[in-house]
Amino acid sequence: MKKKIKLLFISAICLFLFVGCSQNGTTEVDSEGDKIIRIGYQKNGPLIILKSLGTLEERLKEKGYTVEWKQFQAGPALVEALNAGSIDFGRTGNSPPIFAQAADAPFVMVAAGKSKFKGSGILVPNDSDIQSTNDLKGKKVGFAKGSSSHYLVVKALEEAGLQYGDITPAFLSPGDTRIAFEQGNIDAMAVWDPFTASTELHSNGKLLIDGEGLTTDRDFFIATETFEKNHPEMIDILLEEIQKSSDWANSNQEELSTILTPILNIEEDSILKSIKRRTYGVDEINEEILKEQQEIADTFYELDIIPKKIQVKDVLANN
């Protein structure tokens, strides 16, 4: 069993175990002599808003810095790049930092995003006989293994007095989960926005429950240990500009949906629905946020998804 757990963990974190740490604490310089800050982002997240507005570049230019944006399809790959030293700063969901810490990656969490629980949930077909979480007993539920949705399912079952073993999990990516849902190969699916909204509006799905009271499903802003240590003023500027772009997003929802629709290649009504039920912004990581992140880490350890117990506070910046 231990060997199997180790193999699963190695598969989940991919390059963590062989890319190593190539960080040397220095900052790259471009052809004009400006220092470069390398930022990792995903198409669905607050950093794409900051990138689209271009305000960070304007502010950093005054200080002799340029920005190099690097896109990643998923959080684990972004954290791998952080571990390898190919980016300095990035944003990810709540699960990748747990895998990274369990793999001893040298990074720190510098801030959290606002809760987006309304767009995270468990969906069933509109004509399903599943009317409550209790009805999931004996059903097949699709979700990404080791994701925020995985944790949501565990917490939802727990609240309903069910065990994780009472369902049959189908470990699928969000895209494959959607296909299985539409084809009737699973009874329910757990996912996050904008996939949740798109399923509701275009795949005959309805929310059985959202994450309220179960999970906050926060973003986390992370940096390499060396970048945070050597450039604390840049961390402050980054977080300030993320907050400013978030304020713009919260006040310009229609315009934001127009920007994100071609980037995400998802229906505009789904994007707008996603935007309207979340608030963008930056939160300081407090004891409450740490407690939930610790609960997620403990749950993944109990489910044999990570091979060792971790203390998430150990990767908190300025800890």
DSSP 138-185: T-EEEE-TTSHHHHHHHHHHHHTT--GGGSEEEE--HHHHHHHHHTTS
- Reading the chain (319 residues) residue by residue, the pLDDT tens digits are 444 444 444 444 443 433 333 344 445 654 445 699 999 999 888 999 999 999 999 999 988 999 999 999 888 889 889 989 999 999 999 999 999 999 999 999 999 999 999 999 999 999 999 999 999 999 999 999 888 999 999 999 999 999 999 999 999 999 999 999 999 999 999 999 999 999 999 999 999 999 999 999 999 999 999 999 999 999 999 999 999 999 999 999 999 999 999 999 999 999 999 999 999 999 999 999 999 999 999 999 999 999 999 999 999 998 6
Distance CA 69, CA 6 (A): 33
Residues in contact with 318: Cβ distance below 8 Å, sequence separation at least 6, in sequence order: none
Give SS3 for 65. Answer: strand
SS3 218: coil
pTM, rounded to two decimals: 0.87
Identify the helix (H) or strand (E) that includes residue 35.
strand 35-41
How many Å apart are CA 291 and CA 284, to the nearest integer? 14
Q: Which amino acid is at 203?
A: S
